[in-house]
Amino acid sequence: MKSSTPSSVQIPKVLTIAGSDSGGGAGIQADLKVIAALGGYGMSVITAITAQNTLGVSRIQDIDLDVVEAQIDAVFLDIGVDIVKIGMLASPEIVRIVAKALKRHGAKRIILDPVLRATSGASLGGDDTAQAMIADLFPMATLVTPNLEETSLLLGREITGPEDFKLAAQELLDMGPQAVLIKGGHLDATHTQLTDFLMWKTIEDGLEVVQSKEFKHYRVNTSNTHGTGCSLASAIATYLADGHDLAHAVAKGISYVEAGLEAGRFLNIGQGPGPLWHMHDFYPTALPGEESQY
């Protein structure tokens, strides 16, 4: 007689710890869309609520520290976590409580997107928050994914272009993470080709070896770029949890975001810069004048 108990199916379990975006284009909302689109099971810890749309951030309310910690405990104690993606942590106190809880639960893989400023320019964490990330989360991180502005804030000097990436990545790597990905998407519009720079540490024959790789891709001609950083970090996390090695996961994450930007070029969502189209593999969007392909 066959057992009536169904066999177990395992899919990547990805926990995102970040702020909520009421406009749905970035933060927790974007993270969960990406994780689901790539075949993972997404869970969330909300660190802050933002009143936000395509025009910017008008209000931020931090979540109480004990509630942030309780959310982490609830997920780890029941469901379990294959990988953690961290986004907006709006205060040093939230950084420290997240680090404390993740250490207590023995989190092994952590992708840290050091969100310190929104695309609109709104501050999502000051220098004190950046320093807390460096002290408490960088040594725990599998990968840190700053953009140009965040790299400049973390290092205390301006990083302007790809010629600065190698030294900047090495300095960030010296702060403790296993790998650093500096994103070049915020280069000015004169750069039609963008460069993302990955540097990581490995152990070979008992010795630490530092490797690096450049990812070059063309800028997609669109203003709908809201949430790209969140989406990239979540994509990389999901691919890593699914068994891809780091360089391959980064390459696939970049390709996913690039395809989302291309598919979302003509989306009309809000009056400002809209989001990329996260579900492009399932629901391709239409060009102007064409019928929807839904």
Residue from 50, 151, 195, 225 carrying the catalytic annotation: 225
Say which residue, 206 or 100, is predicted with more confidence.
Answer: 100
Nearest to 281 by CA among 85, 34, 42: 34
**Residue 264 a catalytic site member:** no
Q: What is the pLDDT of residues 27-38, one digit of tens each?
A: 999 999 999 999
Q: Coil, strand, or helix at residue 173?
A: helix
Q: Coil, strand, or helix at residue 112?
A: strand
**Residue 228 a catalytic site member:** yes
**Residue 16 a catalytic site member:** no
**Residue 225 a catalytic site member:** yes
**Residue 243 a catalytic site member:** no
Least confident window among 49-58, 118-127, 255-264: 118-127
224-253: average pLDDT: 97
**Residue 183 a catalytic site member:** yes
Query: Any bridge partners for residue 204, and if so which?
Result: 207
**Quick one: pLDDT at residue 1?**
47
* In the predicted structure, residue 46 carries a pLDDT above the cut 90: yes
CB 207 within 8 A of CB 171: no
Residue from 25, 33, 230, 264 carrying the catalytic annotation: 230
SS (H, E, C) 99-156: HHHHHHCCCCCEEECCCCECCCCCECCCHHHHHHHHHHHHHHCCEECCEHHHHHHHHC
Nearest to 268 by CA among 229, 224, 228: 224
**Quick one: pLDDT at residue 126?**
73
Q: Give the type of residue at 232.
A: L
Instruction: Look at domain 13-263 and name its CATH class.
Output: alpha beta
**Quick one: pLDDT at residue 123?**
57
Residue count of the chain: 294
Domain boundaries, the chain: 13-263
Put residue 71 in one of left, alpha, beta given phi > 0 → left and psi -120 to 50 → alpha.
alpha
**H-run or E-run covering 157:** none
CB 74 within 8 A of CB 106: no
* In the predicted structure, residue 287 carries a pLDDT above the cut 50: yes
* Report field, pTM of the whole predicted structure over 0.75: yes
Q: Using DSSP, how many helices (H) and how many strands (E) does the chain show?
A: 8, 9
Residue from 19, 23, 24, 227 carrying the catalytic annotation: 227
Q: What is the pLDDT of residues 151-204, one digit of tens each?
A: 999 999 998 888 899 999 999 999 999 999 999 876 666 667 889 999 999 888
Residue from 27, 183, 195, 264 carrying the catalytic annotation: 183
Average pLDDT, the chain: 91
**DSSP helix, strand, coil percent of the chain (3-state; round to 5):** 35, 25, 40
Instruction: Provide the percentage of residues in the chain whose pLDDT is more than 90.
Output: 76
Residue from 27, 228, 238, 260 carrying the catalytic annotation: 228
**Quick one: pLDDT at residue 256?**
97
Instruction: Provide the percentage of residues in the chain whose pLDDT is more than 70.
Output: 90
* In the predicted structure, residue 6 carries a pLDDT above the cut 80: no
- Name residue, tokens 């969100």: 115
**Quick one: pLDDT at residue 161?**
82
**Quick one: pLDDT at residue 122?**
55
- Name residue, tokens 């869309």: 33
* In the predicted structure, residue 74 carries a pLDDT above the cut 50: yes
